[in-house]
Amino acid sequence: MTALLEIRGLTIDIARDEGPARVVDGIDLTVMAGESLGIVGESGCGKSLTMLSLVGLLPNRIRATAGSAMFGGKDLLKMTPGALRRVRGSEIGFIFQDPMTSLNPVIRIGDQIAEALIYQKGMTKPQAAIRAVELLALVGIPAPEDRAQAWPHELSGGMRQRVMIAMGLAGHPKLLIADEPTTALDVTIQAQIVDLVRDLKTRLNMSVVWITHDLALIAGLADRIAVLYAGTVVEDAPVAEIFDRPTHPYTRALLDSLPTLAGEAMSRLPSITGTPPEPGRRPPGCPFAPRCPLAQPACSDAVPKLAPVPGSDPRHRVACPIVIERAVA
C-alpha cells in the first residue's frame, strides 16, 4: 500500500488579541490508499481543523503555521488558493456534520450536486444534471429524479446527509473526509450512513477519513484509528489493536467509558477527571499529564513523540514513554 496523504508536524494557531493560541500542535498522520482512517477525540481537540486545513477551508482567524501535508506528490499547505480549489471536490471530498445547515436552502438539490460536476469535471449543465440523478441513486435515495428537483428543507436529516455524501463523491475524489457526519442524526440513521459510506468506499476504491468522538461508531468502519488529544496524536494503531490492546492512558480511559452489555447492570461508568486544556493554555510537556493516572513529574518536561509499542503490531504507535517502558518491562 502506498501513502495517499502524509501530514507531518502540522501546527494550527488561532489568532487572538492576546496572541496566537495553538490548537493543533505538530500532528503526524498518514492515510494509505484505499484505507479508512478513524480520527477520534473530544470536541475541540483539533480533529476537524486538521482536516479543514488541508484544503484551505479554515475559518478566518485560524491558520496552519507549520508542517507539511503531501498529497499526490504536492504539499497541500503550500498550494495557491486557486490550485487548492481544484483539489477540493475532485481530489478530496468532504461531508460535514450538520446536514440541516450544510445545504444551501435556496438552491435545488440536483443543482447543488451538479455544481460540483460543472466546476470540477467541466461537464455541461444537462450532463451534470443526469449525473446528479445517478449520484442520488448511488447514495440510496428513492425516486432520485424527483428528489433532484426538491429543495433541501423538503428532505429529512438522513436524506440530506445522503445528498451531502452524493455531493462529496461527485468529483470522484481519491479521499473522502467525513467530519462527524452522523452526530446530528438519529441512532438508526447513523448506522445506515456508516454502512453506506463503507459500501461506497469499496465500490469506488477511495480512502476515507472519518472524524468522530464516538469510538464505538467507527469500530466497524475504520481500518486504523488515530486518537487525538489537545491537538496531538496520542495513539495510532490498527482498529483491532486499539480495542484489544489500548495502550495510551487516554485511549484506555475513552474505552473504559464505553458502556458494554457484559458489564454489571447499573454500575457507574468510569469517566475521566478534569477537562482538556483550552487552546493557548496548554500545559508544558504531555498535554494529558494533568489528568493522567500514570503521570510522573518527568511527563511535564517534553512533549512525547509517537513511538512503536514493543511486542505488538508494528503499526501500533503511542506517544507515552511511560507505557512503552512498561511494555518493555
Partner 1 sequence: MTMIDTDDRPSGLWRDAWRRLRRNRLAVAGLFIIFGVVLVAVIGPWLSPYDFLSQNLDVRNQPPSASHWLGTDDLGRDVLARLMFGARTAFLVAIGVTVTAVFIGVSLGAVAGFFGGPFDRFVMWFTDITMSVPQLLLVVVINASLKQPISQWMEARYIETLNPIYRNSTLIDFVLVFGSMALISWPAYARLVRAQVLSVRNRPYVTAARALGLTNRIILTRYVLPNAMGPLIVAVSAGLGTAMVLESAFSFLGVGVTPPTPSWGNMISDGLRVWTNYPHLLVAPAAVLAVVTVAFNFLGDGLNDALNPKGQK
Partner 2 sequence: MLAYIIRRFLIWVPSVLLVMLGVYALAFYGAGDPIKLIFLRAPGDVAYDPVKIEAIREQAGLNRPFLVQFGSYIWNLLQGNFGNSLFSGRSVWAMISAAAPVSFLLGLCSIILTAVVAIPLGMLAGLKQNSRLDYIILGTAVTLWAIPAYVAGPLLMVLLLVVLPEGSMPYGWGGLFSVKIILPLIVLSFQPIALILRQTRAAVIEVMSEDYVRTARAKGVPELVVALRHILRPVLTPVVTQLGLIMITIVNGAIFVELVFGLPGLGRLTVQALINSDFPVILAITLIGSFLVMASNLLVDLLYPLLDPRAADAKGAR
- What are the residues binding partner 2 (CB under 8 A)? 55, 57, 81, 85-90, 93-94, 96, 98, 101-107, 115-116, 119-120, 151, 153-154, 164, 167-168, 170-171
Comparing CB distances to partner 1, the nearer of 278 and 301 is: 278
Comparing CB distances to partner 2, the nearer of 174 and 248 is: 174
Comparing CB distances to partner 2, the nearer of 170 and 197 is: 170
The minimum distance between CB 42 and partner 1, in angstroms, equals: 14
Distance CA 108, CA 147 (A): 9
Comparing CB distances to partner 1, the nearer of 97 and 120 is: 97
CB 77 within 8 A of CB 68: yes
Contact partner, 202, from partner 1, partner 2, none, Cβ < 5-8 Å per class: none
Contact partner, 277, from partner 2, partner 1, none, Cβ < 5-8 Å per class: partner 1
Contact partner, 57, from partner 2, partner 1, none, Cβ < 5-8 Å per class: partner 2
Residue 253: what are its φ and ψ, rounded to 5°? -65, -40
The minimum distance between CB 116 and partner 2, in angstroms, equals: 4
Comparing CB distances to partner 2, the nearer of 102 and 190 is: 102
Distance CA 128, CA 111 (A): 9
Contact partner, 278, from partner 1, partner 2, none, Cβ < 5-8 Å per class: partner 1
The minimum distance between CB 166 and partner 2, in angstroms, equals: 11
Contact partner, 101, from partner 1, partner 2, none, Cβ < 5-8 Å per class: partner 2
The minimum distance between CB 191 and partner 1, in angstroms, equals: 28
Q: Applying CB under 8 A, which residues contact partner 1?
A: 17, 59-61, 274-275, 277-278, 281, 283, 290
Comparing CB distances to partner 2, the nearer of 164 and 185 is: 164
**Strands 74-75 and 62-71, bridge-based pairing:** antiparallel
Comparing CB distances to partner 2, the nearer of 84 and 286 is: 84
Contact partner, 61, from partner 1, partner 2, none, Cβ < 5-8 Å per class: partner 1
Instruction: List the one residue out of 56, 72, 64, 52 whose CA is nearest residue 15.
Output: 64
Helix (H), strand (E), coil (C) string for the chain: CCEEEEEEEEEEEECCCCCCEEEEEEEEEEEECCCEEEEECCCCCCHHHHHHHHCCCCCCCEEEEEEEEEECCEEHHHCCHHHHHHHECCCEEEECCCCCCCCCCCCCHHHHHHHHHHHHHCCCHHHHHHHHHHHHHHCCCCCHHHHHCCCHHHCCHHHHHHHHHHHHHCCCCCEEEEECCCCCCCHHHHHHHHHHHHHHHHHHCCEEEEEECCHHHHCCCCCEEEEEECCEEEEEEEHHHHHHCCCCHHHHHHHHCCCCCCCCCCCCCCCCCCCCCCCCCCCCCCCCHHHCCCCCHHHHCCCCCCEECCCCCCCCEECCHHHHHHHHC
Contact partner, 281, from partner 1, partner 2, none, Cβ < 5-8 Å per class: partner 1
Contact partner, 18, from partner 2, partner 1, none, Cβ < 5-8 Å per class: none
The minimum distance between CB 44 and partner 1, in angstroms, equals: 13
Instruction: List the one residue out of 144, 143, 136, 134 whose CA is nearest residue 161.
Output: 136
The minimum distance between CB 271 and partner 1, in angstroms, equals: 15
The minimum distance between CB 90 and partner 2, in angstroms, equals: 6
The minimum distance between CB 259 and partner 1, in angstroms, equals: 26
